């Protein structure tokens, strides 16, 4: 039985691993590389395997860096099934279409290549088989179980039984006490684990602290009287922010009701998926659902789906808040707002998620004094703030306790999906505290399991 790490090795994006067992070739995720131009260029390369030889793809969750190259697989000859939870199938379809629109725009403007077209997305959609948590999927002699990862809506970690061993694949693990989502399920009896390490070297603030920080930063931005910009990942971060704002504004009256815009077609399109699967909700969200309360909406929230609606935000007097994608400011409507308001000392940019190296979000987070947007140099005069704990990822402590509390602790762990420093820090902790053989694999490295 062999495993090759084709992405998310020594880096956070491009999740894609090939498991060869029981005569089958199974891909675990097939995501896009994101971040710098160099990194995104890797998406255009040919797959390092023949897509026609792949029997099936099992997908941990819908995020672009885990699903983004699936339509490209079909374009290059794959014709098998994709297994993912029902919500993941629907959210991935929204994500693929959004990626296609961005690619088409960039293709027209800069002649950059198109990875797939609408026909390939349709093929992917048709071949996506929605499964439930706890359900066992059979691929030949291999069995795959999906368990709740608590990372985004529909997210899962996988337990794969093959050739007498069980391999765990963490996908991305969620932060603790995240609204709407249930906590990460307990890890079962696994022999070998592929474990994400995005925040493998860091600790998040507590939930109370996160809410307090969110409240304080918005209040500060509101009092300054400018625009509060929040680049947010359209799936999950955005819904979490809406849930928190609904509570802070409508229930606790801790924040004033001022104009807030959700300026993200993808986030708006994903709201019905959240409403369709109440069986995924945690206890608190279930209560709201039973009471018929819409926890993703509040009085002063305006959804701006069309470009015209989005442009009208400019005419609304300050203070106002705009939540828009993309989360790392590599594209999307947030760029138009950043272009207008980064130079305004009264405005605020609140960063709420992981920012990959090379992205505009990362440059701003690291204190750049000027940045380039649409080819123009923009001086950064607004306040730049960040709430690390609002990340959708587990921190070091949560990952360690998840592994420690497994039904049977794995003997071997491969730390993937992290920058080298984070993956290495987690590997050391696993070795020192849990006496597990932990490794940080190289991209394209093959290991015998």
- Closest CB to Zn ion among 237 and 337? 237
CB of 168 to Zn ion, least distance (A): 17
CB of 353 to Zn ion, least distance (A): 10
Span interacting with Zn ion, options 15-23, 56-64, 215-223, 426-434, rule CB under 5 A: 56-64
CB of 237 to Zn ion, least distance (A): 10
- Closest CB to Zn ion among 98 and 172? 172
Span interacting with Zn ion, options 60-68, 275-283, 342-350, 415-423, rule CB under 5 A: 60-68
Interaction between residue 417 and Zn ion (CB under 5 A): no
Which region, left, alpha or beta, applies to residue 371 given φ > 0 means left and ψ of -120 to 50 means alpha? beta
CB of 98 to Zn ion, least distance (A): 15
Span interacting with Zn ion, options 58-66, 190-198, 272-280, 366-374, rule CB under 5 A: 58-66
Span interacting with Zn ion, options 82-90, 91-99, 171-179, 264-272, rule CB under 5 A: 171-179
For 427-435, the CB contacts below 8 A with 24+ separation are: 427/197, 427/200, 429/200, 429/396, 429/400, 430/400, 430/403, 433/400, 433/404, 434/400, 434/403, 434/404, 434/409
Interaction between residue 263 and Zn ion (CB under 5 A): no
Interaction between residue 10 and Zn ion (CB under 5 A): no
C-alpha torsion sign, points 390, 271, 197, 413:
positive
320 forms beta bridges with 227
CB of 152 to Zn ion, least distance (A): 6
CB of 280 to Zn ion, least distance (A): 16
Span interacting with Zn ion, options 13-21, 63-71, 274-282, 412-420, rule CB under 5 A: 63-71
- Closest CB to Zn ion among 354 and 414? 354
Span interacting with Zn ion, options 89-97, 172-180, 259-267, 336-344, rule CB under 5 A: 172-180
**Cis upstream peptide for 61 (omega within 30°):** no
Task: Answer whether 142's CB lies under 8 Å from 21's CB.
Answer: yes
Q: How far apart are CA 448 and CA 136, in angstroms?
A: 25
Interaction between residue 11 and Zn ion (CB under 5 A): no
Interaction between residue 237 and Zn ion (CB under 5 A): no
Interaction between residue 288 and Zn ion (CB under 5 A): no
Which region, left, alpha or beta, applies to residue 118 given φ > 0 means left and ψ of -120 to 50 means alpha? alpha
Q: How far apart are CA 343 and CA 431, in angstroms?
A: 47
DSSP letter, residue 189: B
Q: Who's near 174: CB < 8 A, 6+ residues apart?
A: 149, 150, 151, 152, 155, 181, 183, 184, 392, 393, 394
Interaction between residue 429 and Zn ion (CB under 5 A): no
C-alpha angle 427-198-384 in degrees, rounded to nearest 5: 140
Q: How far apart are CA 4 and CA 350, in angstroms?
A: 38
**Residues counted in the chain:** 449
CB of 171 to Zn ion, least distance (A): 7
Interaction between residue 29 and Zn ion (CB under 5 A): no
By DSSP bridging, strand 301-303 and strand 260-262 are parallel
CB of 15 to Zn ion, least distance (A): 8
Q: Who's near 189: CB < 8 A, 6+ residues apart?
A: 166, 406, 407, 408
- Closest CB to Zn ion among 148 and 172? 172
Interaction between residue 148 and Zn ion (CB under 5 A): no
Interaction between residue 63 and Zn ion (CB under 5 A): yes
Among 90, 148, 161, 172, binds Zn ion (CB under 5 A): 172
Q: How far apart are CA 260 and CA 283, in angstroms?
A: 27
- Closest CB to Zn ion among 172 and 419? 172
User: Which residues contact Zn ion (rule: CB under 5 A)?
Assistant: 63, 172
């Amino acid at each position: 039985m062999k495993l090759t790490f084709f992405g998310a090795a020594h880096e956070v994006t491009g999740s894609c691993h090939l498991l060869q067992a029981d005569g089958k070739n199974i891909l675990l995720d097939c995501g896009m590389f994101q971040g710098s131009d160099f990194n995104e260029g890797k998406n255009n390369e040919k797959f390092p395997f023949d897509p026609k030889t792949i029997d099936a793809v099992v997908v941990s969750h819908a995020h672009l860096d885990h699903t983004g190259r699936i339509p490209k697989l079909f374009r290059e000859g794959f014709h098998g099934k994709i297994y993912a939870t029902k919500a993941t199938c629907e959210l991935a379809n929204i994500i693929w279409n959004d990626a296609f629109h961005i690619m088409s725009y960039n293709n027209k403007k800069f002649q950059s290549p198109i990875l797939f077209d609408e026909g390939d997305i349709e093929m992917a959609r048709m071949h996506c088989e929605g499964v439930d948590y706890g359900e066992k999927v059979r691929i030949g002699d291999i069995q795959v179980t999906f368990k709740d990862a608590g990372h985004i809506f529909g997210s899962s970690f996988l337990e794969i039984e093959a050739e007498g061993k069980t391999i765990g694949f963490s996908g991305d693990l969620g932060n603790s006490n995240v609204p709407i989502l249930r906590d990460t399920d307990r890890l079962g009896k696994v022999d070998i684990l592929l474990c994400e390490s995005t925040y493998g070297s860091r600790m998040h603030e507590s939930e109370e602290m996160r809410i307090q920080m969110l409240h304080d930063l918005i209040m500060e931005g509101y009092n300054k009287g400018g625009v509060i910009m929040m680049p947010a990942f359209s799936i999950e971060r955005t819904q979490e922010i809406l849930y928190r704002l609904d509570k802070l504004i409508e229930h606790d009256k801790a924040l004033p009701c001022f104009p807030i815009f959700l300026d993200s077609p993808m986030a708006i399109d994903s709201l019905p998926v959240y409403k369709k699967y109440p069986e995924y909700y945690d206890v608190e969200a279930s209560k709201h659902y039973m009471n018929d309360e819409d926890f993703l909406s509040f009085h002063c929230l305006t959804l701006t789906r069309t470009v015209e609606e989005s442009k009208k935000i400019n005419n609304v007097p300050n203070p106002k808040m705009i939540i828009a994608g993309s989360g790392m400011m590599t594209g999307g409507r947030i760029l138009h707002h950043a272009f207008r308001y980064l130079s305004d000392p009264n405005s605020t940019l609140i960063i709420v998620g992981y920012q990959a190296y090379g992205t505009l979000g990362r440059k701003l987070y690291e204190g750049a004094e000027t940045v380039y947007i649409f080819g123009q140099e923009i001086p950064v005069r607004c306040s730049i703030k960040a709430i690390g704990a609002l990340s959708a990822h587990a921190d070091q402590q949560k990952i360690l306790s998840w592994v420690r509390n497994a039904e049977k602790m794995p003997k071997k762990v491969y730390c993937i999906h992290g920058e080298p420093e984070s993956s290495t820090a987690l590997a050391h902790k696993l070795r020192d505290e849990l006496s597990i053989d932990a490794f940080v694999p190289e991209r394209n490295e093959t290991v015998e399991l």
